[in-house]
């Protein structure tokens, strides 16, 4: 099974940009708020399904855009929001890259 058809059908369109705002690539990925179930964290909002630490998101994306191999200035943009990649790892199926997961954080720009 290949994950790309699932991402292309159900994922959100996102773009990768370098630090000079030049488009590196377009992709489809799942980007969802990262939620915590315990109350150890002091900053954030409690929701019905758990604790939402505002600004952190879980990313699941295609293996051909390996976020583990990109420059630190690269950012992700989706629906007008920019995200910094805090941590990324590749998930393998056998010896083949299957998908990339990452913890991304919303970039707050000064106006």
**Greater pLDDT, 99 or 1:** 99
At 76, is the secondary structure helix, strand, or coil? strand
Nearest to 16 by CA among 7, 8, 25: 25
Delimit the domains of the chain by residue range. Answer: 4-106
CATH of 4-106, one of 2.40.10, 2.40.160, 1.20.1270, 2.70.98: 2.40.10
At 10, is the secondary structure helix, strand, or coil? helix
pTM, entire model:
0.80
pLDDT for position 39: 45
CB 102 within 8 A of CB 85: yes
Phi, psi of 13 (to 5 degrees): -75, 130
pLDDT for position 40: 44
pLDDT for position 41: 46
pLDDT for position 42: 43
CB 57 within 8 A of CB 31: yes
10-65 pLDDT, tens digit per residue, is: 999 999 999 999 999 999 999 998 876 544 444 555 555 555 555 789 999 999 99
């Amino acid at each position: 099974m290949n994950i790309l058809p699932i991402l292309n059908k159900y994922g959100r369109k996102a773009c990768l940009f370098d630090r000079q705002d030049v488009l590196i690539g377009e992709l489809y990925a799942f980007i969802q708020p990262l939620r915590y179930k315990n109350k150890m964290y002091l900053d954030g909002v409690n929701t019905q399904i758990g604790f939402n630490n505002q600004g952190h998101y879980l990313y699941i994306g295609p293996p051909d855009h390996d976020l583990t191999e990109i420059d630190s200035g690269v950012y992700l943009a989706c629906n007008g929001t920019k995200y910094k990649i805090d941590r990324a790892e590749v998930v393998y199926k056998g010896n083949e890259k299957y998908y990339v997961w990452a913890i991304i954080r919303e970039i707050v720009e000064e106006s």
